[in-house]
Amino acid sequence: MEKTAKLVVNGKSYELPLVVGTEGEIALDISYLRSETGLITLDPGYANTGSCKSCITFMDGEKGILRYRGYPVEQLAEYSSFRETAYLLINGELPLENELNRFSVMLNDHSLVHEDMHHFFQNFPRRAHPMGILSSMVNALRAFYPEIPERSEEEEINITFTRLLSKVRTMAAMSYKISRGHKIVYPRHDLSYCANFLNMMFDSPVKPYVIDEDLVDALNVFWILHADHEQNCSTAAVRLVGSARVNLYAAISAGICALWGPLHGGANQSVVEMLQEIHDSGGNPAPFIARAKDRDDPFRLMGFGHRVYKTYDPRARIMEKTCNRVLKKLKIHDPLLDIAKRLEEVAVKDAYFIDHDLYPNVDFYSGIVLRAMGIPLNMFPVMFAIGRLPGWISQWKESMEDPKWKLHRPRQVYTGLQERDYVPLNKRG
């Protein structure tokens, strides 16, 4: 294969190096484009721009492949736990038994949130969205816990990562309890990562929560499927903000804000709201499909389409199976699931959706799983954020360790007015 590509501009030709990834992806290296040619590239939404080299997650949007550190997500969802997958993403390898045990002990040791932080929680207005609360609280962690100093020992770095993984889960459950006006439930030493979360969410002094292992399994799958997705919007936000060398908590907080949007992590909430709207309007998805196809209507079918997947999102299939399993176990008949299946059946056969490569994404069924677990609608994006945390941490770590690290600073093509003179106030108009 050629090692360079030729660019010809105004009759002058330039050689651009080609970079080949381990899965055969080829990229044009334009790092020296501006210094050598004076040109920049224009790529709105960065759809064709590789912002980094990464060895964490591989996805092939045409074939519907997703792998973390080389392991297919299907295998991890089947055999791994969220805790183990988090370890894998951050450390690069599956843990040995003693490493996993140590990681579990550390997660438990760091699960408590500083008592002074409780006051912050208590003072958010009752209607505050949990994503806003979570991003503020994660940022506030910096005031209570140290940053990772330069040249720190590996142990110190690991403690910071574990602290974040553990506390975010505790803070998410706390924000839910406070929003309900209920007593906070503290983490328990004897429970696993996922079981602990469910217990902190749903245990109450009047009705002790009984842990259902099938729900714990489903939560493990949900979080494994969300654990990383290479350079998506929120991860790109973590890397970009992190590139200014802010502390880890601030970078993760930025990621949470990006994830909040309905086109990204807020989509699971929007899907359920859309399905509910279809249900309330009589249950026929046809008018909604027609609206999604209408160019003059901004409405989109939520849970459909993806920037990278141009086929089924592999996570959507696993999520659908999990959804069926959870509803069967809990003996729930959710009319929204029937509507979702009808909607999918019609949409995937429709020429518009086929032509636009629009298939269900991970969010299409995930909301129904969360609903069955008893998670309230406005907590859905928070559930996504807890799942994505190992991905954000590992991507942040990789970017910090990159010897070719650079401050992220895109350029632009200016299309505004050319230079003109200032006009004093009394001479305007």
| Catalytic machinery residues | 306, 363
Contact letters (x/-) for ligand ACO, 249-278, by CB under 6 A?
A: --------------xx--x-----------
Minimal distance, residue 96 CB to ligand ACO, in Å? 32
Q: Residue 314 interacts with ligand ACO (CB under 6 A)?
A: no
Contact map string, positions 283 to 302, toward ligand ACO, x by CB under 6 A: ---------x-------xxx
Residue 305 binding ligand ACO, by CB under 6 A: yes
Q: Tell the smallest beta-carbon distance from residue 50 to ligand ACO (Å).
A: 16
Q: Which listed residue (356, 400, 402, 408) binds ligand ACO by CB under 6 A?
A: 356
Give the Cα separation of 377 and 122 in Å (integer): 21
Q: Is the dihedral of CA 332, 338, 339, 341 positive or negative?
A: positive
- Name which of 205, 317, 223 is nearest 265 in CA terms: 223
Kindly tell me which of 141 and 224 has the beta carbon lying closer to ligand ACO.
Answer: 224
CA–CA dist 51, 53 (Å, integer): 7
Q: How far is the CB of 239 from ligand ACO (least distance, A)?
A: 16
How far apart are alpha carbons 382 and 174 in whole angstroms? 12
Q: Which amino acid is at 256?
A: I
Contact assessment for residue 249 and residue 142, using Cβ atoms and an 8 Å cutoff: yes
Q: Which of 68, 304, 359, 380 binds ligand ACO (CB under 6 A)?
A: 304
Q: How far is the CB of 232 from ligand ACO (least distance, A)?
A: 6
* Interface with ligand ACO in residues 359-398 (CB under 6 A): 361-363
Rounded CA separation 214/46 (Å): 40
Judged by CB, which is closer to ligand ACO: 255, or 303? 303
If the CB atoms of residues 110 and 306 are measured against ligand ACO, the closer one turns out to be: 306
Residues in contact with 429: Cβ distance below 8 Å, sequence separation at least 6, in sequence order: none
State the number of binding residues for ligand ACO (CB under 6 A).
Answer: 17
Closest CA to 197 of 89, 81, 79, 99: 81
| 205: CB partners within 8 A, 6+ apart | 183
Which residues are at the interface with ligand ACO (CB under 6 A)? 263-264, 267, 292, 300-307, 356, 358, 361-363
